[in-house]
């Protein structure tokens, strides 16, 4: 079963995405940037749904940079799921290698459709 990593500091967002995706995919979760990067390196998910603004040592953009710069993980699909809705925010994430940019509040069905079309 294909593994998807959901990274968000809000458990309700992780739970919503996990319930929505859990029947089709193996879901792992992380609540901060450092844990997310460890999970990417250990579990090698096919895709990461990644919040931008998180507490701790690394925000989502730093995690994105680390994923895309590492030869072993750079092909991992990364979709940003964030409250940062300015056009410049989405452009910056895409320049850094984000494959998609979803703005909160987002449609879980839209995220699922994107995952299905890009992962399977």
Look over the chain and give the mean of its residue pLDDT values, rounded to a whole number.
95
For residue range 22-75, list pLDDT tens digits in order. Answer: 899 999 999 999 999 999 999 999 999 999 999 889 999 999 999 999 999 999
C-beta of residue 58 within 8 angstroms of C-beta of residue 90: no
For the domain made up of 48-120, the CATH class stated in words is alpha beta
Whether the pLDDT of residue 115 is over 90: the answer is yes
Structure tokens at 70: 């590492």
The ranges assigned to domains in the chain are: 48-120
pLDDT of residue 114: 96
pLDDT of residue 84: 86
DSSP 8-state secondary structure symbol assigned to residue 56: S
- Say whether pTM exceeds 0.75: yes
For residue range 73-93, list pLDDT tens digits in order. Answer: 999 999 999 988 888 999 999
Strands lying side by side in the sheet with 3-7 = 26-30, 3-7, 47-50, 77-82, 100-103
Question: How many other C-beta atoms can be found within 10 angstroms of the C-beta atom of residue 1?
Answer: 7
DSSP string, 25-47: SEEEEESSHHHHHHHHHHH--SE
Judge residue 96's burial from the number of C-beta atoms within 10 Å of its C-beta, 0-12 exposed, 13-18 middle, 19 or more buried. Answer: middle
pLDDT of residue 87: 87
Half-sphere exposure of 40 (CA within 13 A, CB side): 30
């Amino acid at each position: 079963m294909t593994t998807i990593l959901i990274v968000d500091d809000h458990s309700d967002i992780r739970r919503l995405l996990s319930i929505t995706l859990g029947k089709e995919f193996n879901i792992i979760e992380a609540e901060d940037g450092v844990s997310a990067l460890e999970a990417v390196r250990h579990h090698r998910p096919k895709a990461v749904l990644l919040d931008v603004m998180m507490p701790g040592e690394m925000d989502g953009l730093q995690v994105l940079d680390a994923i895309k710069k590492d030869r072993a993980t750079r092909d991992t699909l990364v979709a940003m799921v964030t409250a940062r809705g300015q056009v410049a925010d989405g452009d910056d994430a895409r320049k850094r290698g984000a494959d998609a940019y979803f703005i909160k509040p987002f449609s879980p069905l839209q995220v699922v459709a994107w995952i299905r079309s890009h992962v399977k």
